[in-house]
Structure 1
C-alpha cells in the first residue's frame, strides 16, 4: 500500500473527527499478493452470524471508496448462483482489481465501482467462498434462511464499522442475487420499523430480475489465485482450514431449496416500491438466460399493479454511441438494456455497467 495513501486517509479521519481505531484493524489487509499500489484501504474477515452457535460465519471483503470514503455511500454486492462467491466475483466484475492472465497477480480495474462508493462483498449463503459452518445442515440453504443470516450479518457488520451506520446504503448484485437483494432490502426496512437503535439508510437497489439457476463460475485464473496460500493469508480467509478448496461457485456439500429458485420476486419488488425505494434494473441485450423481453413484460405487469405508467422510453448514450434502451416507470423504477452485454453485464460490459451505476443509480437518487 502506498505510504501517501495511509497519510491521506489518516488526515481525512482527523478532519472529520473520526477515530480510525473504530475500524477493525485486525481485518485490515496490508497488501494482496501482486497488488498494484493504491490510496484506499481494504479489509476482510469473518462475521459470526449466530451468537448461540460457534462456527457459523460469513466471509466479507470491504473496499473503501477511492476518494473521501467517509462521505461516500456504501454498496453491498451479492452474487447469485446460488452458491457463488461474491468476494471472488469482485475480482472479475466491480471490485478494484482483476486477476492477471498468469493468475499470480492483480491489475487495476479501471471501472471499479469504488470510484463512487465504498464496496462490501459478502460470501452468502453459507458454503459460498470462505463462508462456513461447523453444522453440516447449514449447507442446506434457501431464500428464508439466507435472508435471515444476511440481516444478522448486516447488523453485526455495522457494529464492526459504526462510521458507516447512517451512510446511504445501496444493494446490488447479479443473477440469482435478484432473490437475495429484494429479500434483504425488505428485511432491512422491517428491521427499521421494529428497532429503535439501528436504522438502515437504504437508498436504492440495482438488481437483475426472476432469474433461474445459472453457472456463474469465474475464470480459472481467479480460482487459482484464491487458492494460493499467500493470498488466503493476506485475505485472513480460510482460517479454519476447510476440507475443500476455494471455488468460484458451489462446494460438494452445498444445496439450495429447488422450490425457492422458481419463486416470483415481483411481490418483493412491489413492496419496496410502495415504500418509495428506487430500483434500477439492467440486463444485457444478448442475455441467453433471461431474455430482456421477458424482463420488460414482468416490469410492465409490476407497474400495472402499482398503477404506474411508462413515463419514458428512449435510448441512452455511452461515449457518444448507443448504450442500449432505457425505460422509466414513474420516479422509482428504471430498466436499462446494455448493448452487447450478456447475462453477467458487469463482466461482459464493465464500463457500461459502471456508467449505469454511477449515472443512473447514485446520481439519480441524489
Structure 2
C-alpha cells in the first residue's frame, strides 16, 4: 500500500517535531573546493528562537582539534551588524580559507588554515541577527531588529544549543566577536550570567569574553579617528592642533555655526579620503568614478565597510590588488547550490547569500557599553580586548580610551609581546579582583586583526585561553 502523503498541519507538525528533536543538526563530512574528507569535525544546523521559534538561526560548529572535552567553548558573533558567520570563519579564525593561488573566478578552492582558533577551542559561528548569512524568519515582523532583540535571541540560541550538546556544559565558556559585536558580546555575556543567577537551565560555565577591534562607545570610537590619523602621520601637526582647538576635541556632528571647525574637518577629510580605513597600509579599492567625499562631518555608515566585491576597478584606476577582491570568492562559493547542499541549507529560505547584509531592518539602540563592561568586571570575569594598530575603522586609541574609563588598576604596564622572537604588538594587563582584563594591540593589523595577522592572533588567543602571560 502506498504511504499517504502528509499535507498542511500534519506536515508542519512533523517538521516541528524534527526541529525540536535536534535533527536539523548535521555533521558535514566534506566541502566543495577542499579535497577529501574534512580533517576536523564540522556541524551545521538551525536553532529556532523567538515566539514559536519563528526565527531560525543558522550556525557552524567546529570542534577543537586539540581536546574537545577540555578546551573552551566559544560562541563567535561576527560584527556588522549583518556580517555572516562564514566571513569570520573563512577570513579570520576558522579551520579553512580560500586558496587564492588555485582559485578561479568560477571555481574557488579551499585550503586548511594553519592558525585556526579551532586548534585550541570549540567554536560556534552564529549567523546573527536574523537576516544574516543563512539565518531566516518565517514572518516579516521578526526581521525588525535592534541590539536588545539580537542579544536576547543569541542568548536563547546558546541555551538551546547547549541543551542539544550537553557534553559541552562543563567546558569553560567564552562569548567572543569583533567590530560591531563589541556591543552585543558584553550584553550576551551579562545575559548568560544573569540567567545563571536566576536558575535558568542549562547553567553555563561562563569564564569571560573576547573582543577584537570592538565598537565600545560609538561617538568616542569614531571621534578617535582624528587623533589616530595624527599619530600615524596622515594629518599634519598644524592641522591637528587647529582642529583640536577649534572643535574642542569633538569631530562628529559638527555645529555648522562653528566655521573654523567645519573648515578643519574638511581639510582632515581631504587628507584621508584616499586612505583605506580598514588598513591604512593597504590600497583603497576604487570601484567606480565618484565625486569628492570631502564633507564637514564623518560618514555615519555601518562599522563594517564592504564595497561590493563584484565591481572591478574602473579604467581610470590602476589595477592594484585590494583585499576586498578576496571577498568575491565567498559570494561565489556560498551561493553555489552544491555548497549549500553540503552545508544542509534549507532550500528557498533566503533569496541570496551576501557576506554583509546592509539591508537589515536594524536599529542600533545601544551606543555605549562601558557600564556593561563595569558590571562584568564586578562579577569577576576575564576579558581579552585586542586591536589592529593600523585599523582606522575603530582605532585602538579609541578602544584604549574606553578602557581607561573603567578605572582599573594596571597590573602590568604597556609592554611588547612576541611571536617567534619578534614584537607582535603591545599589551597592558588590568586587574580589579577577581577580574583580569588584557588589552593588546596587534602590530601591522587592520580591521579586523586575525585577517591581517593570523599567526600573531592565534598565538595571542592560545596564550590567553591557557592563562599564559602575554
- With the shorter chain as reference, the TM-score category is 0.7 to 0.9
Counterpart for residue 33 of structure 1: 32
Residue 48 of structure 2: aligned partner: 48
Q: Distance in 2 between matches of 1:147 and 1:188?
A: 10
Give the superposition deviation at 1:159: 1.4
Q: In the superposition, relative to structure 1, how do residues 337 and 197 fare at CA in structure 2: closer, same or farther (>3 Å)? A: same
What are structure 1's unaligned runs of at least 5 residues?
A: 1-21
- Taking the TM superposition and a 5 Å limit, the aligned residue runs for 1:1-366 are 26-36=25-35, 37-50=37-50, 52-53=51-52, 55-101=54-100, 102=103, 103-195=107-199, 197-207=201-211, 208-210=214-216, 213-217=302-306, 219-237=327-345, 239-250=346-357, 252=359, 254-260=360-366, 263-302=367-406, 304=407, 308-309=409-410, 311-330=412-431, 332-364=436-468
Could you tell me whether the CA contact under 8 Å between 1:125 and 1:146 is conserved in 2? yes
After TM superposition, the structure 1 stretch with the greater mean CA deviation from structure 2, 269-278 or 209-218, is: 209-218
Per-residue CA distance 1:343-364 (angstroms, 9 max, x = gap): 2101011111111111134434
Q: CA deviation at 1:246?
A: 0.3
- Of structures 1 and 2, the larger Rg is shown by 2
Partner of 2:251 in structure 1?
Answer: none
* TM-aligned CA deviation for residue 23 of structure 1: 8.8
CA offset at residue 216 of structure 1? 5.0
- Give the TM-score normalised by the residue count of structure 2: 0.68
Deviations 1:59-103 (A, max 9, x none): 000001112212222111111111111133201110000023225
Partners of 1:122 and 1:329 in 2: CA distance? 30
1:48 offset after TM fit, Å?
0.7
Distance 1:312 1:189 in 2: 30
State the distance in 1 between where 2:188 and 2:463 align. 24
Q: 1:236 to 1:251 in 2, by over 3 A?
A: farther
Q: Which whole-Å CA distance do the structure 2 matches of 1:203 and 1:85 have between them?
A: 25
Checking the alignment, whether the CA contact within 8 Å between 2:335 and 2:353 is kept in structure 1 is: yes
Q: Cα RMSD between the aligned structures?
A: 2.1
Could you tell me which runs of 5 or more consecutive residues in structure 2 were left unpaired when the two chains were aligned. 1-20, 219-301, 307-323
Aligned pairs, number: 336
Task: Report the Cα offset of residue 105 of structure 1.
Answer: 2.7
The Cα shift of 1:211 comes to 6.0
Question: How far did 1:220 drift?
Answer: 1.1
How far 1:310 moved relative to its partner? 5.3
TM-score, normalised to structure 1's length? Answer: 0.86
SS of 1:69 mapped into structure 2: coil
Shift, 1:39, TM fit = 3.4
**1:43, CA displacement in angstroms?**
0.4
- Give the Cα separation in 1 of the matches to 2:69 and 2:305: 33
- SS of structure 1 residue aligned to 2:28: coil
* 1:126-185 alpha-carbon deviations (Å, 9 max, x no partner): 000011102112222111100110111011101111111121111211100101110000
For 2:200 and 2:48, the matched residues in 1 are separated by: 23
